Every structure is written in structure tokens, then in C-alpha cells.
Amino acid sequence: MSPSEPEEAHEAARVEAAIAETAAALAHVAELADETASLVHVPRTETDDEPLPDPRRSDVDEWGRSEHMRSIARRMYQPVYERWFRATWEGLEHIPTDGGALLVANHAAAVPSDAPVIMHGIETELERPVYGLADQLFKSLPVVGTYWARLGGVVAHPDNAYRLLREQNQLVLVFPEGSKGPGKTWNQRYRLRRFGRGGFVEIAMRAGVPVIPIAVMGAEESMPIVWKSSLAAKATGLPYFPVTANQLVFGPVLGAVAYFPAKFKLRVLPPITFDVPPDQDRYSKSRIMDEAEKVREQIQSALYDMLRERRSVWFG
Amino acid sequence: MGKRVLITGLATFWGGLAAKALEADPGVDVIIGLDTREPTIELERTEYVRTDENYSILSRIVRAAQIDTIVHTFLVVDSTMMRAKTMHEINVIGTMNLFAAASQAGSTVRDVVVKSSTYVYGAAKEDPVWFDELTPRSHSPRRRVERSLDAVEGYVRDFAIDNPHVNVTMLRFSNVLGPDIVTPVSRALELPLVPKLAGFDPRFQFVHEDDVIRAMLFVLAEGLPGIYNVAGDGLLPWTEVAKICGKRTIALPPYGASWAAVPLRMFGVELPDELLDLLRYGRGADNRRLKEAGFRYSYTSAGAVEAFIEATRLRTNVGSTQPTYRYERDVEQFFRHSPAVVRDHES
């Protein structure tokens, strides 16, 4: 093709020879090091599996999370977390500082306020990322879906959860009640809904990670639903279409985004491990349902416990 | 005895490249390329046979040339290239006839490689981030290219079940980028402003065209049966893809995007529905199965984008660096069959 090609080939050969020479010299030094143990240890480099050049321009990971965006969000959210909700934790030591774990919490408020509080709290306290599993509805919303993913939201698919937990040893947050938790009206507050079909237990079993229950108090009062329109829900394709107390107080628009300053208290319960081997094709369905129910009961009774101690919705 | 290879779609980008790569392999004795059109790149020893698009003379060729390996590259993945009916003829009817010929009594075919696409996984909001080879699609296919490839894969599976003595390999390639290939994605990235859907920034995965050919040769050499995703490491947001290309983006309305794409077509910008799905939800294909079989990629997703844009920049500055080639039947026949030509690969 180009006339300079033989030259280039020659040049390449020379470079290669030089590299080979250097490598030989290095190997010799390494040998010497082994013999005398007086020189600095030179790690042998594997030339075969050198990483490929990867000219990335952002820090968005395979799940869509960006630590850069997340840190900006943390800075913006800190006053809300600290001053508005005044979140306090109990039992944070139950969350491991490394290794995968499935965090399971109760879910509430028309626009759930618990997910950001939990994710923010753990990321600032333990300095490790939390991925929040959520309904695929988020992914289909323009703008919201993109920010949701950048801030650690992942579609609640068993394959996603398995990969995050088992292969990448991450913390994953899930709300087994799904939209039934936030979608309940004011008079049903702190009464946990069905924990799905126990899928979260099966994932934890398959991934071989503990389930760590978290009881969240305060979210229910931050944006309670006074009335739901099933007709509007059907028309918009949303799981529920609420009128919130916030909207009655702040007006329909501001009320859709402004929370009441309910005091947040979070209690992390001891990890639950399942005595089953990971990576099985099937797990006993009845065992899964039993375990899921046990987790639900634990969170429910922890909540009753916390509510018994609570003197004020706003001051804890 | 060396391999006797039949390549479908010799005049297509992939057919031509596969033939060229196989010509360099001394273990390959005979290469026969089928197509409705003449080859578009210069080939040394590949025999070109003109057929209609659904290969009516195929069984005769397979028998006469004692074909043992079929490389099925003639599958249309770019739906903007032709009408739906033509694509159906080529993909579905073509594959059906190909396998009918390959499975006739006394067939000598032992290896089949099919070039499919990760479009068979679709793109939906319910999808997992990564599809492995066994992950089912979230919905039944609606886009015509996906329906078409789905039907093709059905024939491939049937053939593999009916012919357990044949090594059937199906490679599902993710979006291909590189110096030479032209796809709806590469055309979108060459526009002054790269189209995106407002409010969406899904993650894309790419495979470099060299890795596509290398993967085909790899599975042929290893005799690997089964389905394999072929895709570079890493998922990149679409805006990052545009950024690597040094381009700004222009937002299309997220709803009714396929209508918004209609006026763009007048300016030669084709955004087929399956690409709009990708621009909404993106897709990741787990490439670990092929890696575990020993394949080493030479580019990551981001690396493929960079290689593409560097080649594009070179081309806009100095024009095409590829020599132009026109197939002349008599000339090609002379080189292949005249006793006057000294053929070094026979010595």
C-alpha cells in the first residue's frame, strides 16, 4: 500500500527486538532478585492479557450509574437528608463494608422518599455505592429515566441483581412491596403489603449473599396519599394516580415534589443468611415464601417497635 | 484434505471480507462464493457463482463441489437497505433453502457458521442490562428485521437439531463499527449533529469489524458449535459515543419518534425503528462465552467507536483509501483457470 510500509515494518521489528531485550534483562533482574532477595521484587508482566485501549469519556458504568453525577447529587441532597428529614440510623454496623448484600426495606410515600435517603445514607456513611432496583417504568420515562440510572437505579430484573450481587459484590437495595407500598393510602400507613412473590429471597439464595432488612420510619408521613384515582391511573399507565396531602397544602404542582419534613429513623436489622448452596437452578418455592414472610414480619415488628417509641411525627 | 468452503453473500461487506480472510488460510482448499451481484472486492482464488437470492442451484453446488463448510453471511441486518419483501426473501427463504440443500441425503457439510445479530434480543424497558445467549427476549419481535432474524434463527436451530453431526455455530454480532462498514448507526454518527431521543441516553455496545471477521475465523478454526454473542467490552451512553466522535447531538421528540424520522429521510438520514428502540433503551450482550472459548477481542466498545471516527476523519481529508475494484468475469476466470498463470498457493 504505502511506500513507507517496509520502513515501518523494519522499525516495528527493531522496537520488538528492543522490547525482547528489555524483557530478557528484566527477567534476569527478577532472577537475581529471587536469588539474592536484596533487590526490589519486580512483578512479571503478563503481555498476553494486557487490557485493550478503552478511550472512555465518562464514568458511566455498565448499569448507567455515574459516580461523578452521584457525588453532585449527594452534595445537593445532603441538606435535605440532614436538615429536612434529619435521618438517623441504628444498626449500620450490620451492613458489610465489602462483599455483596441485598438490602430489603419497606416502601412508602407517593413519590418514594425512602430510596434516596437509604442510598444517600449508606453511600456517605459506608462510602460504598448502592444500586437501587426499581420498576422498569423509570427506564421508559424521558429525562427522569436517565437521571434515575445515573444515580444508581437499575431495572429490577433477576439477571441484573444476580450480576451485581454475585459477580460484582455490590450492595443492592430492593423494595419487595413494589408499587403497592407507596401506592397505599394514608389510613394504611406502616402496614406492609405482600412481599411480592419472594423473588428477592430467591436472588439472595442464588447469589449466595445475605438479606439485610431495613425498617424505615418517616417516609409514610413525608407524602401521604389521601385519595387515588384508578381511572387516571389506567389512563396514564401509572401504577397509581394519587392526590397527596402535600398537594392539598402546597398546591397541585409544588405538592407533587415537596415533602413534609417528617423525621426519618432507619433501623438496620441483623443480616439473614440462607443455608443453601448458591447458583442452583431451582430453590424450594415454599422455603422462599417462608423466608420472604419472615423478613416481612421482622420489618413489620421493627416498625411497630419504632412507632411505639415515637413521640412526634416531626421530631421523632 | 483442506476445507471446502461455501460463502453466501459474496458481494456483501461481510461475505467479501470472509472470503478474503479464508483465502489467506492454507488449510482452505476451495472457496465458493454465492451472490446475486458481482464481488465488490478483489479476490485471489474464490470462485464466484451467480445465483438468485434464494439459492435454487445450491444443492447442486454443494454436491458437485463437495462443500464441507458453509459460512452464511448473506443475512440482511440493515433494514434501510431494501424493501421488507426483498429482505424476507434473502433472510428467511434464503436460509431455508440453504439448510434444505445442506441437509439433503449424502450431504458433505460438517460445519456451518451463521452471522446473526444481537437485534434478535430486541430492546425493551423490561430487558436486563446484559443478554447472554440464553436470555429470552422480553416481547415477541415486532420490528421486521428482528422478525426476519428470529425466523432465520429458528431454521438454524432446526437444522442443528436435525443434523447433530454438523457443527452449527451462530454468532450474534452487536452493532458493528469500523473503518469501512456502513450501517444506520455509522451514518447517524457521521451527521453534523448526531440524532438522539430527548431525555434518553441509553448505553450502546459495539464490535469492531476486524473482530467480526476474526470471530468467524476463530469459530471455524476451533469447530465451536453453539450460539455466541460477539460484542466489545463495555457499554457507553449514546452521548458519550457522540462525544468520542467529536459531535454534538440533536434531540428528536421521544414520543412519535418514528414520525419525526420521516422528514429526516428526505435528507438521507435513515433511522429505522429498531435503531430508535436502541436509542430509547440500548442493549448489552454478554460476551463472556466466546471469551471463555479462547477468543481475544482486539477492540473494546469505545475502541471501536474511536477506530471508526479516526477512519472517517481520514476519509474526509484524503478521500477513500480503498482501491476501487470492478469485477470482470473474463479477467477473473483467466487468473483462476488459465494454465499461463503461476499460482504460488499450489506450490
Residues in chain A with CB shorter than 8 Å from the CB of B240 are 56-58, 60
Using CA atoms, how far apart are residues B34 and A168, in angstroms rounded to an integer? 46
Give chain A positions within 8 Å (CB) of B177. none
Chain A and chain B share a number of CB contacts under 8 A equal to: 87
User: Is B108 part of any domain?
Assistant: yes
Contact A160 B129 (CB under 8 A): yes
- Residue A187 CA to chain centroid, in angstroms? 30
Residue B130 to residue A136, Cβ atoms within 8 A: no
Chain A residues in contact with B303 by the CB 8 A cut-off are: 52-55
Using 50, 70 and 90 to split pLDDT, how confident is the model at A36?
A: very low
Q: Which domain holds residue B186?
A: 3-337
Mean pLDDT of B326-330: 80
Using CB atoms, pick whichever of B132, B135, B199 lies closest to residue A142.
B199
Query: What does the pLDDT look like over B239-251, one tens digit per residue?
Result: 999 999 999 999 9
Of the candidates B236, B244, B281, which has its C-beta nearest A139's C-beta?
B281
Q: How far away is chain B from the Cα of A55, in angstroms, using its nearest Cα?
A: 6
CB contact under 8 A, A157 and B128: yes
In a domain, B188, yes or no: yes
Contacts of A55 in chain B (CB under 8 A): 244, 302-303, 305-306
Residue range B133-146: average pLDDT?
93
- State mean pLDDT over A114-132: 96
Give dist(CA A223, CA A258) in Å, integer: 8
- Is B346 a domain residue? no
pLDDT for B185 equals: 95
Give the tens place of pLDDT for each residue, B102-133: 988 888 999 999 999 999 999 999 999 999 99
Read off the pLDDT of residues B174-191 as tens digits, 9 standing for 90 and up. Answer: 999 999 999 999 999 999
Asked if B284's CB is within 8 angstroms of A62's CB, the reply is yes
Question: Residue B271: inside a domain, yes or no?
Answer: yes
Q: Are strands B193-197 and B226-230 parallel, antiparallel or unpaired?
A: unpaired
Residues B129/A154, Cβ–Cβ less than 8 Å:
yes
Element (H, E) at B244: helix B238-244
The residue assigned the cell 439433503 is: B104
What ipTM describes this predicted complex?
Answer: 0.89
Q: What is the mean pLDDT of residues B287-312?
A: 96
CB contact under 8 A, B128 and A63: no
Candidates A55, A62, A146; nearest CB to B200 = A146
Domain A67-309 of CATH type 2.30.29: no
Between the CA atoms of B24, B30, B32 and B38, what dihedral angle is there, to the nearest 10 degrees? 50
* Number of domains making up chain B: 1
Q: Cα–Cα distance between B63 and A126 in angstroms, integer? A: 68
Q: Does B128 touch chain A (CB under 8 A)?
A: yes
pLDDT in tens, B210-231: 999 999 999 999 999 999 999 9
Task: Among A52, A135, A163, pick the best mutation site for testing chain B contact (most B Cβ within 10 A).
Answer: A52
Does residue B345 belong to any structural domain of this protein? Answer: no
- What cell was used for B43? 479476490
| Domain layout of chain A by residue ranges | 1-50, 67-309
Position A146 pLDDT exceeds 50: yes
> What was the pLDDT predicted at B52?
81
- Closest-CA residue to A64 (of A121, A148, A167): A148
3-state SS, chain A, equals CCCCHHHHHHHHHHHHHHHHHHHHHHHHHHHHHHHHCCCCCCCCCCCCCCCCCCCCCCCECCCCCEHHHHHHHHHHHHHHHHHHCCCEEECHHHCCCCCCEEEEECCCCCCCCHHHHHHHHHHHHHCCCEEEEECCCHHHCCCHHHHHHHCCEEECCHHHHHHHHHHCCCEEEECCCHHHCCCCCHHHCCCCCCCCCCHHHHHHHHHCCCEEEEEEECHHHHCCEEEECHHHHHHHCCCCCEEEHHHHHHCCCHHHCCCCCCCCEEEECCCECCCCCCCCCCCCHHHHHHHHHHHHHHHHHHHHHHHHHCCCCCCC
Tell whether the model's pLDDT for residue A32 goes beyond 60. no
- CA of B291: which chain A residue's CA is closest? A49
Question: Least CB-CB distance to B199: which of A63, A136, A146?
Answer: A146
* Residues of A within an 8 Å Cβ radius of B: 52-58, 60, 62-64, 136-137, 139-146, 154-155, 157-160, 163
Give the pLDDT mean for A253-280: 95
Domain membership flag for residue B14: yes
Q: Is residue B347 part of a domain?
A: no
B157-168 pLDDT, tens digit per residue, is: 999 999 999 999
Report chain A residues whose CB lies below 8 A from the CB of B233: 52, 54
CB contact under 8 Å between B243 and A58, yes or no, is yes
Residue A160, min C-alpha distance to chain B (Å): 6
Mutation for testing the B interface, residue in A157, A160, A164, A203 having most B CBs under 10 Å: A157
Domain with residue B79: its CATH number is: 3.40.50.720
Contacts of B231 in chain A (CB under 8 A): none
Band of residue B340 on the pLDDT scale cut at 50, 70, 90? confident
Alpha-carbon distance B277 to nearest alpha carbon in chain A (angstroms): 11
Q: How far apart are CA B263 and CA B300, in angstroms?
A: 34
Reply yes or no on whether the pLDDT at A1 is more than 50. no
Give residue A312's identity as a one-letter amino acid code. Answer: S
